[in-house]
Every structure is written in structure tokens, then in C-alpha cells.
Amino acid sequence: MPDHLVAELINGTLVTSPRPGSRHARANSVLNTKLGGPFDLGDGGPGGWVLLAEPELHLGPDVIVPDMAGWRRERMPVMPETAAFTLAPDWVGEVLSPHSTEARDREEKMPIYAREGVSHLWLVNPTTQTLEAYALDRERWTLLGTWSGDKKVRVAPFDAIELDLAALWSR
């Protein structure tokens, strides 16, 4: 695929998406920064995670590239030297793009993440300035909550810190 496209194999179909727009990229970058310090590096937080931006996941027959993914270090104590990961993450974060990825993230990727046992999923929407968090309960997603605007929130599985949502929408 050309560099300006993200390619995924979902339910047997090759799908492409344009590289993210500026609002999408900004929300993704800020969220990675806010979570990476305390959870991946242990700076001011509990550590215990490996967090990656846009990892390629080979989950069964599907090849998916989420915006963010995290593995608890107890499940992935050493990060493999690989371009793609076959171990399903414990957490996935998807930044929604209303005209290109939102429907695919909700309708196609969420069921795959559930099938593979991803325990937590966040959907971040920079257009509506919302964060939706889900937890997996027997292969079904349960909505933990939806938060919007400039709230400061604690959201599983990263509820050890307070997340200032306003930072995700800053320009």
C-alpha cells in the first residue's frame, strides 16, 4: 500500500483508510503521552504496561492496526522483535474519524477485539469531544461510561491516574 494509506484485513476483506487528520493525530498523540508516562514508563504511576501507537495486530484471520494498544507486562514481559503482534492486547484505543473509520471501528473491529479477548476498549472522538470506555464481559462489550468536554476522569484500566480530557481536544 502507498504510505498515505493504512491497510487492514478485516473479515477477509482488504480495507484501506487515509492517514489520520490533524485532530485525530493530536488526540492519539496526547493520549499516548498521558498514558505512556505513568503506565508504560512508571513515571508518576504504577507502570506495568507496554503501550504502542499503531501496532499491527494479527488476530486470527484478521490484520488490524488500532490507533493504540496496550499489554499488561505480566502477559508480555518482553516485547518481541517483530513487525506484527499475534498476542491480543489487554486494551485498545481507537480514535474515531467520522467520515472514514468510525463505522468500521464500531461495527467490524469491536467484534474482533471481543472475539480475541481484549479486556478494555476506548473510543475517542475528537469531533464530539467524547471518550467511551468499554469492558469485555463474556465476549460482549459493556459500556463503562461516556465522558465529554473538559472533564477530569478516571477510566479503567488506567484509573490509577486522572485524565484531563481537555488535553485531548487541544489544538
pTM for the model stands at: 0.90
Span 57-105, pLDDT tens digits = 999 999 999 999 999 999 999 999 999 999 999 999 999 986 668 888 9
Q: DSSP states of the chain as a string? A: --TTEEEEEETTEEEEEEPP-HHHHHHHHHHHHHHIIIIII-TTS---EEEEES-EEEETTEEE--SEEEEETTT-SS--S-SEE-SPPSEEEEE--TTTTHHHIIIIIHHHHHHTT--EEEEEETTTTEEEEEEEETTEEEEEEEEETT-EE--TTSTTS-EETHHHH--
Span 104-146, pLDDT tens digits = 899 999 999 999 999 999 999 999 999 999 999 998 999 999 9
What integer pLDDT is reported at residue 161 of this predicted model? 96
Residues 75, 81: Cα–Cα separation, whole Å? 16
What integer pLDDT is reported at residue 19 of this predicted model? 64
Q: How confident is the model at residue 147 (pLDDT cuts 50, 70, 90)?
A: very high
Q: How many CA atoms lie within 13 A of 5 on its CB side?
A: 8
Burial class (CB within 10 angstroms; exposed 0-12, middle 13-18, buried 19+) of 29? middle
Span 6-44, pLDDT tens digits = 776 788 877 877 666 778 788 999 999 999 999 999 998
What average pLDDT score do residues 150-167 get?
A: 97
Q: How far is CA 47 from CA 72, 82, 110, 160, in A?
A: 9, 23, 26, 10
Under a CB-based contact definition with an 8 Å cutoff, are residues 93 and 68 in contact?
yes
What integer pLDDT is reported at residue 5 of this predicted model? 65
Res 4 pLDDT > 70: no
What integer pLDDT is reported at residue 160 of this predicted model? 96
Res 2 pLDDT > 70: no
What integer pLDDT is reported at residue 17 of this predicted model? 74
